[in-house]
Amino acid sequence: MSSILVFVESADGRIKKSSLEAIAFAHAMGGEVTAIAFGNEVSQDELSGLGNFGATKVLHINDEKLNQGVIQAYASGIAQAMEKIGADVLVLANSSLGNPVSARVAIKMDASLVSNVTELPSTDGGFSVKRSIYTGKAFANVELTKAKKILAIRKNAAEVKELGGSANVEVFSANFNDADFSAKITSTEKATGDILLPEAEIVVSGGRGLKGSENWGMIEELAKELGAATGCSKPVSDMGWRPHHEHVGQTGVKVSPQLYIAIGISGAIQHLAGVNSSKNIVVINKDPEAPFFKAADYGIVGDAFEVIPKLTEAIKAAK
Amino acid sequence: MKILVCITHVPDTTSRISFTDNDQKFDANGVQFIIGPYDDYALARAVELKEQAGGNITVLNVGGVETEPTIRKALAIGADEAIRVNAEPTDSLFVANEIAKVAKDGNYDLILMGRESIDFNGGMVHGMVGEILGIPSLSPVMTLEIEGDTAKIAREIEGGKEFIEVKMPFVAGCQEPIAEWKIPNMRGIMSARTKPLNVVEPSVNQSGTALQKFVMPPAKGAIKMVDADNVAELVTLLKNEAKVL
Ligand SMILES: Cc1cc2nc3c(=O)[nH]c(=O)nc-3n(C[C@H](O)[C@H](O)[C@H](O)COP(=O)(O)OP(=O)(O)OC[C@H]3O[C@@H](n4cnc5c(N)ncnc54)[C@H](O)[C@@H]3O)c2cc1C
């Protein structure tokens, strides 16, 4: 049986949903699952609670200096944890922290690394995985040829199930050197309380068709009613109507929610590249010829300014 | 300041993707190749930094001879010289090892590249290069200012950004709005023809993965249209058919 280490990330003291998916993924692979967590902002209960999702043990580097995502230090800590438990596989969620950290761990551990993994590995005749490529326009099956393996998984690569049970939390003291902290995080600016776009199950996105930032109130209202995150097209963030981290597409955030609602977005191929792994796509556009309709599951031809308030009302009414 | 900018040679963002040779090979037939859009941001920022503080920009690509027009375009945009490592790259580890070798030999202050390529989207090369060289690696980088030997950086995180100070040398994976894409002018295009483009052979030749085959996504089903005067029907469909509400 293999030993699998899972790197878990937290936000506001809670383990991220994407990390729970990573644990579920590792558990479904079959093997002894150990999680590793950093910083002192996550409670013991939250950590032992990882047992409910398939981890048997949690290594906790509870150093305050690691409350922020210090890339090099995290990579050092993970590599040391892999050594300690004799892990042959590391699983983590693709994220702005997971990606740069896993790349460094791959070099430290001389491991094969594949990111954007979309399915559980196949182990008959070698160890191979399916990964998304060409920004969601295709997939590749690739074999990991080295003894140690790292899988950075995409959202929805595994289904989170509650299994009951609790994990043993163990304080793990890794050795760090000055170089691990040579890039200094001086401050962080973060929208709090909002649903994070990459993790959201429902996304309401607006494009240039909304005419200006002053019209986002109704997008936000609709999103609130749905418990959704808000997104936008590139020109919308370029013009400063919305913050950059909401920009969806080829050069922005790639989302894969259960439901993506696109309003006043034409559906340029670069925008579609960021949304094509959504389970369901709804398009609302006044132009029946808008290319986005070709990529959608449901469509409404109509003026956003009339349709959005009606839709918000209809959702309220259906509750 | 010596800057190394690593670029990919990738299909234009509007390309239709298909495969040949039993799904073993990308079908480049009729496909237009460009500098990776994220790499293009890195290059544009390098040109701005050079304009501010002087220095020299080397552009690097690991690839076959077919990438040379793309490399020339980077020279036209403002790089001073180019290196092509003559190899068919097999994965991010392969590319990272070759970049690290060139970087070590050239003693660069700053190594810039895109946050990810738009063909394989690995997003791993910058981190690997940083670790091989034993220097910091930061990605995705949204702003980059240099003051003396220190850089001030904003790195995007989910739902916001992180501000970082780091001493050179380091590696950065860039994305917008770090700079505006630059379009080569006539003078740039003319001078690019005579700028040095050195071809070197790969020296590490190591990969960690092997391609089995490419797979196309399943075709999308037909769209269901709902009348704008009957929005409630959409809610019913999302609830009972798509089961997402
Ligand atoms: C290299 C490269 C990378 C790119 N990356 C991205 C990316 O990551 N993400 C991205 O989004 N774009 C990207 N783009 C830009 C992309 O090509 C499009 O320009 C962009 O997506 C268009 O945004 P939009 O749909 O909001 O605007 P438009 O194309 O202007 O479309 C506006 C739409 O709104 C509709 N509309 C207008 N008024 C109303 C109304 N009252 N009610 C309903 N509908 C209305 C119109 O019919 C139209 O379809 C990239 C481009 C390049 C070259």
- Residue A148: the pLDDT is 97
Q: Does B177 lie at the interface with A, CB-CB under 8 angstroms?
A: yes
The two beta strands, A184-190 and A229-232, are unpaired
Ligand 1 pocket test, pick from B13, B14, B34, B40 with the greatest ligand atom count within 8 Å of Cβ, gives B13
Q: Does A317 lie at the interface with B, CB-CB under 8 angstroms?
A: yes
The two beta strands, A89-93 and A3-7, are parallel
Whole-number Å distance between alpha carbons of A186 and A209: 38
Cis bond upstream, residue B37 (ω within 30): no
Q: Rounded to 5 degrees, what are φ and ψ at B159?
A: 80, 15
Contacts of B161 in chain A (CB under 8 A): 188-190, 245
Question: What is the phi-psi region of residue B216: left when phi exceeds 0, alpha when psi lies from -120 to 50, beta otherwise?
Answer: beta
Q: Does A122 lie at the interface with B, CB-CB under 8 angstroms?
A: no
CB proximity under 8 Å: B 183-212 to A: 207-212
pLDDT-based confidence at A156, cuts 50/70/90? confident
H or E stretch covering B98: helix B92-106
Nearest CA to ligand 1 atom 30: A208
User: Which residue of B lies nearest to A260 if distances are taken between CA atoms?
Assistant: B244
Domains A3-181 and A197-318 share a fold: yes
Q: Does A96 lie at the interface with B, CB-CB under 8 angstroms?
A: yes
Q: What is the SS3 assignment for A306?
A: helix
The two beta strands, B137-147 and B110-114, are unpaired
Q: Rounded to 5 degrees, what are φ and ψ at B97?
A: -60, -40
How many helices (H) does chain B have, and how many strands (E)? 6, 15
Q: Rounded to 5 degrees, what are φ and ψ at A218?
A: -75, -25
pLDDT-based confidence at A1, cuts 50/70/90? low
pLDDT higher than 90, residue A125: no
- Residue A146: the pLDDT is 97
Shortest Cα distance from B194 to chain A (angstroms)? 32
Which residue range(s) make up the domain with B186? Answer: 2-216
B29-50 pLDDT, tens per residue? 999 999 999 999 999 999 999 9
Question: Any idea which residue has 């230090």 for tokens?
Answer: A73
Is the Cβ atom of A271 under 6 angstroms away from ligand 1? yes
A226-273 pLDDT, tens per residue? 999 999 999 999 999 999 889 999 989 999 999 999 999 999 999 999
For residues B151 and B165, is the Cβ–Cβ distance under 8 A?
yes
Q: Rounded to 5 degrees, what are φ and ψ at B59?
A: -105, 140
Residue B201 lies in a domain: yes
The structure's pTM equals: 0.93
Q: What is the SS3 assignment for A70?
A: coil
Q: Who's near A135: CB < 8 A, 6+ residues apart?
A: A250, A254, A273, A274, B118, B121
Residue B186 lies in a domain: yes
Q: Read off the pLDDT of each residue in A104-130 and give the average, rounded to a whole number.
A: 96
Is the Cβ atom of B13 under 6 angstroms away from ligand 1? yes
Nearest CA to ligand 1 atom 36: A209
Cα B177 off chain centre by: 14
Cis bond upstream, residue B11 (ω within 30): no
CA of B182 to the centre of ligand 1 (A): 21
For chain B, give the number of residues: 245
- Residue B222: the pLDDT is 92
A197-318 to CATH, choices 3.40.50.1220, 3.20.10.10, 3.50.50.60, 3.40.190.80:
3.40.50.1220
Whole-number Å distance between alpha carbons of A68 and A226: 31
Q: Return the domain boundaries, chain A.
A: 3-181, 197-318
CA of A154 to the centre of ligand 1 (A): 25
Largest CA distance in chain B: 67
CA of A91 to the centre of ligand 1 (A): 35
Residue B75 lies in a domain: yes
Q: Does A306 lie at the interface with B, CB-CB under 8 angstroms?
A: yes
DSSP letter, residue A82? H
- Which residues face A284 on adjacent strands? A263, A300
Instruction: Give pLDDT tens digits along chain B (245 positions).
Output: 999 999 999 999 999 999 999 999 999 999 999 999 999 999 999 999 999 999 999 999 999 999 999 999 999 999 999 999 999 999 999 999 999 999 999 999 999 999 999 999 999 999 999 999 999 999 999 999 999 999 999 999 988 899 999 999 999 999 999 999 999 999 999 999 999 999 999 999 999 999 999 999 988 889 999 999 999 999 999 999 999 99
Q: Which amino acid is at A168?
A: N
pLDDT-based confidence at A12, cuts 50/70/90? confident
DSSP letter, residue A247? B
CA of A208 to the centre of ligand 1 (A): 6
User: Which residue of B lies nearest to A227 if distances are taken between CA atoms?
Assistant: B245
> The CATH number of the domain where B210 resides is what?
3.40.50.620
> What CATH number labels A3-181?
3.40.50.620
**Neighbour tally for A240: CB within 10 Å:** 10
Q: Which of A113, A135, A226 sits opposite B124 (nearest CB)?
A: A113
The two beta strands, B209-215 and A138-144, are antiparallel
For residues B217 and A276, is the Cβ–Cβ distance under 8 A?
yes
Q: Who's near B223: CB < 8 A, 6+ residues apart?
A: A293, A294, A296, A297, A298, A299
Question: What is the phi-psi region of residue B217: left when phi exceeds 0, alpha when psi lies from -120 to 50, beta otherwise?
Answer: beta
Whole-number Å distance between alpha carbons of A61 and B226: 53
Q: Who's near B29: CB < 8 A, 6+ residues apart?
A: B20
User: Which residue of B lies nearest to A76 if distances are taken between CA atoms?
Assistant: B131
- The number of C-beta contacts closer than 8 angstroms across A and B is 261
Query: A166 versus A194: which is more confidently predicted?
Result: A166
Is the Cβ atom of A123 under 6 angstroms away from ligand 1? no
Ligand 1 pocket test, pick from A241, A265, A311 with the greatest ligand atom count within 8 Å of Cβ, gives A265
Q: Does B32 lie at the interface with A, CB-CB under 8 angstroms?
A: no
Residue B233 lies in a domain: no
For residues B169 and B111, is the Cβ–Cβ distance under 8 A?
yes
Is the Cβ atom of A291 under 6 angstroms away from ligand 1? no
- Residue A192: the pLDDT is 66
Shortest Cα distance from B90 to chain A (angstroms)? 11
CA of A250 to the centre of ligand 1 (A): 12
H or E stretch covering B209: strand B209-215
Q: Rounded to 5 degrees, what are φ and ψ at A311?
A: -65, -45
Whole-number Å distance between alpha carbons of B186 and A154: 43
- Residue B64: the pLDDT is 98
Task: Judge residue B187's burial from the number of C-beta atoms within 10 Å of its C-beta, 0-12 exposed, 13-18 middle, 19 or more buried.
Answer: exposed
Residue B242 lies in a domain: no
Contact between B119 and A133 using a beta-carbon 8 Å cutoff: yes
Radius of gyration of chain B (CA): 21
Out of A1-10, A105-114, A307-316, B62-71, least confident range: A1-10
Domain count, chain B: 1
Q: Read off the pLDDT of each residue in A8-37 and give the average, rounded to a whole number.
A: 95
A186-235 pLDDT, tens per residue? 999 987 667 889 889 999 999 999 999 999 999 999 999 999 999 999 99
Q: Read off the pLDDT of each residue in A146-162 and give the average, rounded to a whole number.
A: 95
- Residue A191: the pLDDT is 75
Residue B234 lies in a domain: no
Whole-number Å distance between alpha carbons of A58 and A168: 6
For residues A178 and A184, is the Cβ–Cβ distance under 8 A?
no
